[in-house]
Amino acid sequence: MKTQMTELERLVRNISTGRPSFELPDEIHATNERNSSGYVYYAGQYQSNGKLLRWEPKERQLEQLLSIGTEKISKILSALGSKPRLDIITSILIESLTGTEIVEKLGLGTTGQLYHHLKALQGADLLSQDKSGRYTLPDHRKLPFLLLLSAVVDMLDTSDYLDMVEVRNSAGSYLGKTSKDGFDANLLLWAVVENSILEHVAGYVNEVHIFLHQNGGVTVSDNGRGIPVKAFQDSNKSTVQTVLTDIERFSSEAPYQAPGAEKGISIAIVNALTYSLTVEVKREGYIYRQDYKHGIPQSDLMTVGVSQSNGTRITFRPDPEIFGKGFARDSLNQQLERLALSYPNLTVYLH
């Protein structure tokens, strides 16, 4: 009873001072509090090797966090930044392992490849070894590491956006040779149309409409199944957003490759190379929409209407910094003639 009363007093004190309890709301709310530039609360518990580790609530003032030398921070992040080291730490966080077991579990080949990682992690007090030779993460490092992973989970989408920047910086790898007028914008259009053709081959699309706009943009609309909207099993993002932003996931499945290019152009590559893009999906009785700029979402996937039909409509403007000219109408007509011969049961309209 005394413990419960103490906890109740702490919660009341937090409320009276305007500080949150540890049951924080999902949304972030702005306040007018001016007595501090900010603070971060954290706590946690973790089941490890048959015992429960529990960390009491702690507080870090924002001034304290921002005053830490960035050189020291970069050293810590560098120590954890390699994939093999993260694999080692996450593996031993689940269960203590010997060096041989780590090699077998991670497929490192030999213990020699493991040695310099273990040495670095032990030297940084991020790894300990007991008398039986088993490695584990020290108890006092477990919560900080889990907090770091928690923060990274909230920033996972930044990895997709960094990939977008890399695509823009190496556009030639996807678009082939450039002319004095820049890259050919038609390449993006045919990469989008190719997705509709794949739906046709699968038996779901028989009509594709292409609309050229006066602002230099284009819309490609089909009557296929529509891009799925539910999240992938390993993600909290919609499938639509994953398809349009995850360069790595679909890089090997890119349906279209420009002549002379090293890599294929997936829909995520198209998104990265556009100034703006809007996707609309008609599926399961609803219409969904999401907007992008330079490949970065400008909105969530929104439900914007109802529909009894299915399909996907993508509207985009090629980035003028990358593409010197707009869409070449004569070239489009020639390509449409070739498509008509290759896919006689698919009708492609150019408006």
Are the beta carbons of 240 and 301 closer than 8 angstroms? Answer: yes
Question: Which positions ≥6 away from 190 have C-beta within 8 Å?
Answer: 256, 335
Q: What is the pLDDT of residue 229?
A: 93
At position 165, the amino acid (one-letter code) is V
Question: Which positions ≥6 away from 270 have C-beta within 8 Å?
Answer: 188, 191, 192, 277, 316
Q: What is the pLDDT of residue 326?
A: 87
Q: To which H or E segment does residue 102 belong?
A: helix 99-106
> Most distant CA pair in the chain: distance in Å?
83
Distance CA 220, CA 193 (A): 7
Pairing of strands 302-306, 135-136: unpaired
Pairing of strands 207-212, 296-297: unpaired
Q: What is the pLDDT of residue 11?
A: 57
The stretches in the chain having pLDDT less than 70 are 1-36, 49, 233-234, 250-253
DSSP string, 186-215: HHHHHHHHHHHHHHHHTT---EEEEEE-TT
Q: What is the pLDDT of residue 320?
A: 92
Residue for token pair 């579990």: 105
Distance CA 102, CA 85 (A): 11
Q: What is the pLDDT of residue 158?
A: 81
Alpha carbon dihedral 143, 144, 146, 150, in 10-degree steps, equals 130
Q: What is the pLDDT of residue 24?
A: 47
Angle at 103 between CA 97 and CA 108, to 5 degrees: 150
Sign of CA dihedral 26, 141, 66, 72: negative
**Collapsed DSSP state (helix, strand, coil) of residue 239:** helix
Residue for token pair 């702690």: 58
Question: Which positions ≥6 away from 251 have C-beta within 8 Å?
Answer: 263, 264, 266
**Collapsed DSSP state (helix, strand, coil) of residue 282:** strand
Are the beta carbons of 196 and 205 closer than 8 angstroms? Answer: yes
